[in-house]
Amino acid sequence: QVTLQESGPALVKPTQTLTLTCTLSGLSPDVNEWRVSWLRQTPGKALEWLGRIDWDDDKFYSPSLKTRLTISKGTSKKQVVLTLTNMDPVDTATYFCVRHGVAGPIRGNWFAPWGQGILVTVSS
């Protein structure tokens, strides 16, 4: 059973850079192909997709965040890192990493499972 866990700071100051790490556990050793996305949920509960990274290092970003967002693989094969620059109070949200679902041989773009999420507050 695949699980994901987000880690990083709970509080960042305006203009600072946010770095979050997603650690995947339970991946079968013979699973070489995967997709992971980062999403966030505002205090008002709206869900927003931020970006995606694939096993072959293909990356896709939300146009609204493209200039500030980088998603990369971590030092471990089982880690994905989000970097969001120039943080603003409007970026206050719970950040989730998610694995994209699969249906047999098909890699989909629905999200399962989700990490528990990490609440990041942007405040001076």
Partner 1 sequence: DFVLVQSPDSLAVSLGERVTINCKSSQTIFNGGDNKSYLAWYQQKPGQPPQLLMYWASTRESGVPDRFSGSGSGTDFTLTISTLQAEDVAVYFCQQHFSTPYTFGQGTKLEIK
Q: How many CB atoms lie within 10 A of CB 124?
A: 9
Exactly one of 60, 73, 85, 121 binds partner 1 (CB under 8 A); that residue is: 60
DSSP secondary structure letters along 30-47? T----EEEEEEE-TT--E
What's the CA gap between 4 and 96, in Å, rounded? Answer: 9
Closest CB 13 distance from partner 1, rounded Å:
26
Establish if 55 lies at the interface with partner 1 (CB under 8 A): no
Establish if 37 lies at the interface with partner 1 (CB under 8 A): yes
What's the CA gap between 68 and 89, in Å, rounded? Answer: 15
State the number of CA atoms in the 13 A half-sphere of 4 facing the CB: 27
Instruction: Please identify, among the stretches 9-17, 20-28, 67-75, 101-109, the one whose residues bind partner 1 according to the rule CB under 8 A.
Output: 101-109
Instruction: Please identify, among the stretches 15-23, 27-35, 39-47, 85-93, the one whose residues bind partner 1 according to the rule CB under 8 A.
Output: 39-47
Establish if 10 lies at the interface with partner 1 (CB under 8 A): no
Establish if 111 lies at the interface with partner 1 (CB under 8 A): yes
The residues binding partner 1 (CB under 8 A) are 37, 45-49, 52, 60, 62-64, 96, 101, 103, 108-117
